[in-house]
Amino acid sequence: MGAGKSTVGPLVAARAGCPFLDLDQLIVERWQEGISKTFQAHGEAVFREREAQVLHEVALMGGRRVVAAGGGVPLRSDNRTRLHENFWVVWLDGPTEILYARAEGPERPLAGDGWAAFRGRAEERRPLYADLADLRVDVAEVRPDWAAALIGDWWLEQEG
């Protein structure tokens, strides 16, 4: 959260000449309910189930595409397996303080419960991201267009 998936992802997709898919956006479109509303009305467990379902469907699509997966996707082992088997995973990383500052706002339900909870979640997830990532990009050090260029160049090397 706050790493820039929704900003960097479309830039990478444009460079690669392929579609960009944002899991959160697909969830909102499918269930006609915003992410914050889902958390409030149904809880995080329902959201995570929807997220897993949409990830499964996107994995079955095949073809080249850039997918922005929310920060909680790797919490489930089946999601980690699906990501590992179907995608190259790029971890947009940065100092927790910077990510928190970028993530504040009412549309981010897990950023709204304060700094300590955000930091705790980041510390919990960091080992999962590190284990899963094929490439790590420090988004605090580069602008979004530079991050997209780094990822695009790396992607070309992988395909080459």
Per the domain annotation, does 154 fall within a domain? no
Per the domain annotation, does 57 fall within a domain? yes
Fill in the DSSP letter of residue 109. T
Per the domain annotation, does 160 fall within a domain? no
The pLDDT assigned to 109 comes to 56
Report the 10 Å Cβ neighbour count for 159. 9
What is the total residue count of the chain? 160
One digit per residue, the tens of pLDDT, for the chain of length 160 reads: 889 999 999 999 999 999 999 999 999 999 999 988 998 999 999 999 999 999 999 999 989 999 999 889 999 999 999 999 999 999 999 999 998 888 866 555 555 678 888 899 999 999 999 999 999 999 988 899 999 999 999 999 999 8
Question: What Å distances lie between residue 54 and 20, 24, 44, 51, 66, CA to CA?
Answer: 14, 9, 15, 5, 14
Per the domain annotation, does 159 fall within a domain? no
| Residue 33 domain boundaries | 5-148
Per the domain annotation, does 157 fall within a domain? no
Per the domain annotation, does 158 fall within a domain? no
Total structural domains in the chain?
Answer: 1
Q: 111 near 100, Cβ under 8 Å? A: yes
